[in-house]
């Protein structure tokens, strides 16, 4: 926020070589790739960064085992290799996760096919020998995961994936792009496209904070609007043969003690689909659904029907577990921006990405996965560079994102993350905070945790837990461009999904700090509070405060 006026004035006055519309993982990845090649890059996002699909995924950086079933070998191989690169560049945020796939009577995979499938999966994804899949007997499976249904269980596959926080991955990419010289602005929607002759030459966007419209000039424009890609393509009438096919996926979050799984589990459900249960901190989350969506993209909600489907799925796999809608602490619903394939159902449509070039030069990218964001960015920027060279002979460097760490002061390996977490744990213990907080802080903020802990001194009058959350807020205000309490609780800290109790407990203190910092009027404070309350009631199925 401190630099917002300068950014807005640069946006208006500069001639940009590349303007990206959309600040989800796709746009953020393109911004980093382009800026690191020396391309003068700006990015505008209509709400907060990652407020679209990029905070609503299953939060796995995965090779896509189910695409193997659809025989998409190239896709599995590419995303498999990519997950190792993202892990290397942000090991605190992209964390190895063992996944258990139970084999059940009449299930999707038999013992032989899953053993072979998982082996091929490991090979395609270039998994290290020591991390490759193990096939477990029924007894071995029950020993490590006693909640599974003994009467239908045949055994399991135990294999490697990675988990992440999608919104934090996006914000770290945005920050990395800014360090390379890109200018990125949230709360700045594109209202229309501008043309010079036949060719696209810029956009008009609106600063949501001041209400001012801003004309922006750019040589090339990339539309990375995820589910909104076709909204932008409608602005220049460029939807021809290929169009988006939107499907909704929801996740529900329960207190861990309600579904105390020890591992992430990828299991069959009676309708032939497969879903995940993933333990995270004090919770377990379950997802996802896959249903066609034609509703409002700005109001995507978890319905009772969606939530009940996931509860039923859990009941059929974990017989001792009795859940009701009332147990749901939080939830999220997102839209997959897939590319329509005639005659294919929601679950059958390929997750491949594709680039569309319009006659006026607008480049749109859609489809794909969080996991493959770097490669998608490389393909898009390669195309921009090619077009640039053709248009005026300008040369830009090759893609180097494979080697760019996502945080300024990175942790370089899993071992370093472990050691660092130990030191943070000691510091937090000394302040009276439990082990949970070190895990939470380091997974979200990496080495930036030290700075946050140092800010706790500013809130000495508060108890330790409150001073930590207020220190996080100070960090996010200074470093991460937040404008609302929802930005903070949802996309910077994940607390809205994984620690709703802390949101209930500290929301007034946080909104008070935001109001002080931004000199909000009482009306602005109440508007922010109302927005957060509305969001909280939309993700919850009970009102137990």
Ligand X SMILES: Cc1cc2nc3c(=O)[nH]c(=O)nc-3n(C[C@H](O)[C@H](O)[C@H](O)COP(=O)(O)OP(=O)(O)OC[C@H]3O[C@@H](n4cnc5c(N)ncnc54)[C@H](O)[C@@H]3O)c2cc1C
Binding residues for ligand X (CB under 6 A): 21-27, 44-47, 51-54, 56-60, 62, 189-190, 224-228, 249, 288, 334-337, 368-371
CB of 293 to ligand X, least distance (A): 9
Q: Which residue, 369 or 507, is less far from ligand X as judged by CB?
A: 369
Closest alpha carbon to 298 in 228, 229, 234, 224:
228
Q: Which is nearer to ligand X, 22 or 155 (CB)?
A: 22
**Phi and psi torsions of 193, nearest 5°:** -100, 145
Write down the least CB distance from residue 437 to ligand X, Å.
25
Task: Tell me which DSSP letter residue 326 carries.
Answer: G
Burial label for 368, CB within 10 Å (0-12, 13-18, 19+), is buried
To ligand X, the closest distance from the beta carbon of 190 in angstroms equals 4
Name the β-bridge partners of 104: 153
Secondary structure element (H or E) that encloses residue 193, with its range: strand 190-196
Strand partners, 204: 192, 215
Give Cα 205 to chain centroid, integer Å.
25
Residue 493: closest CA among 440, 541, 530, 420: 440
Minimum distance of ligand X from residue 365's CB (angstroms): 7
DSSP code of 241? S
Which is closer to ligand X, CB of 155 or CB of 368?
368
Angle value at C-alpha 45, between 507 and 6, nearest 5 degrees: 90
The residue among 90 and 452 lying less far from ligand X, judged by its C-beta, is 90
Residue among 376 and 453 whose Cβ is closer to ligand X: 376
Helix (H) and strand (E) counts for the chain?
18, 18
Q: Tell me whether residue 271 or residue 523 sits nearer to ligand X (CB atom).
A: 271
C-alpha Rg value of the chain to the nearest Å: 23
Closer residue to ligand X in complex, CB, 182/190 = 190
Specify whether the CB–CB gap between 334 and 491 falls below 8 A: no
DSSP 320: T
Query: 50 with 25: CB under 8 angstroms?
Result: yes
- Six-digit token pair at 226? 């995820």
Cβ 193 to ligand X, closest distance in Å? Answer: 10
For the four alpha carbons of 497, 500, 504 and 509, in that order, the dihedral sign comes to negative
Least spacing, CB of residue 362 vs ligand X, in Å: 13
Angle between helices 111-124 and 73-89 (to 10 degrees): 60
CB of 25 to ligand X, least distance (A): 5
- Least distance to ligand X from the beta carbon of 28, Å? 7
Residue 192's beta-bridge partner residues? 204
Give yes or no for a contact between 22 and 223, defined as CB atoms under 8 angstroms apart: yes
Closer CB to ligand X, residue 225 or residue 381? 225
60/433 with CB nearer ligand X = 60
CB nearer ligand X, residue 45 or residue 122: 45
| Cβ 492 to ligand X shortest distance, Å | 15
- C-alpha 464 chain-centroid distance: 29
Minimum distance of ligand X from residue 196's CB (angstroms): 21
């Amino acid at each position: 926020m401190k630099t917002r006026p300068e950014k807005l004035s640069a946006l208006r006055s500069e001639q940009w070589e590349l303007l990206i519309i959309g600040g989800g993982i796709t746009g953020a990845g393109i911004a980093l790739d382009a800026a690191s090649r020396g391309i003068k890059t700006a990015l505008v996002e209509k709400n907060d960064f990652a407020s679209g699909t990029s905070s609503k995924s299953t939060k796995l950086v995965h090779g896509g085992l189910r695409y193997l079933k659809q025989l998409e070998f190239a896709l599995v191989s590419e995303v498999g290799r990519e997950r190792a690169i993202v892990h290397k560049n942000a090991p605190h945020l992209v964390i190895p996760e063992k996944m258990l796939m139970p084999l059940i009577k009449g299930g999707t995979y038999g013992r032989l096919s899953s053993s072979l499938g998982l082996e091929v999966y490991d090979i395609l994804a270039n998994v290290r020998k020591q991390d490759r899949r193990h096939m477990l007997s029924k007894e071995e499976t029950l020993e490590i995961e006693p909640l599974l249904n003994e009467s239908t269980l045949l055994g399991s596959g135990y294999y490697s994936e990675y988990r992440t926080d999608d919104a934090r991955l996006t914000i770290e990419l945005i920050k990395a792009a800014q360090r390379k010289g890109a200018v990125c602005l949230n709360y700045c929607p594109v209202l229309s496209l501008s043309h010079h002759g036949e060719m696209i030459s810029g956009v008009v966007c609106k600063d949501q904070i001041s209400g001012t419209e801003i004309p922006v000039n750019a040589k090339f424009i990339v539309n990375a609007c995820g589910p909104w890609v076709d909204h932008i393509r409608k602005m220049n009438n460029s939807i021809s043969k290929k169009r988006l096919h939107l499907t909704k996926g929801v996740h529900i979050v329960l207190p861990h003690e309600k579904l105390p799984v020890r591992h992430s589990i990828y299991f069959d459900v009676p309708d032939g689909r497969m879903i995940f249960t993933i333990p995270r901190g004090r919770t377990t989350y379950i997802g996802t659904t896959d249903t066609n969506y034609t509703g409002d993209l700005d109001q995507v909600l978890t319905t009772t029907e969606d939530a009940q489907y996931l509860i039923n799925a859990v009941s059929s796999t974990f017989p001792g577990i009795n859940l009701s809608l009332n147990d749901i602490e939080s939830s999220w619903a997102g839209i997959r921006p897939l590319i329509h394939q005639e005659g294919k159902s929601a679950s059958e449509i390929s997750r491949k990405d594709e680039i569309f070039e319009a006659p006026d030069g607008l480049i749109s990218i859609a489809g794909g996965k969080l996991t493959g964001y770097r490669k998608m960015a490389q393909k898009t920027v390669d195309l921009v560079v090619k077009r640039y060279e053709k248009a005026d002979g300008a040369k830009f460097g090759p893609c180097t994102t494979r080697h760019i760490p996502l945080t300024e002061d990175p942790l370089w390996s899993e071992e370093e993350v472990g050691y660092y977490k130990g030191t943070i744990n000691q510091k937090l213990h000394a302040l009276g905070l439990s082990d949970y907080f070190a895990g939470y802080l380091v997974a979200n903020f990496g080495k930036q945790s030290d700075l946050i802990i140092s800010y706790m001194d500013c809130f000495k009058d508060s108890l330790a837990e409150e001073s930590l959350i207020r220190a996080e807020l100070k960090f996010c205000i200074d470093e991460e461009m937040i404008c609302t309490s929802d930005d903070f609780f949802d996309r910077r800290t994940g607390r809205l999904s994984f620690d709703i109790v802390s949101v209930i407990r500290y929301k007034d203190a946080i909104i008070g700090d935001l109001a002080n910092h931004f000199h909000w009027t009482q009306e602005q404070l109440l508007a922010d509070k109302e927005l957060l309350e509305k969001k909280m009631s939309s993700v919850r199925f009970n009102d137990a405060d």
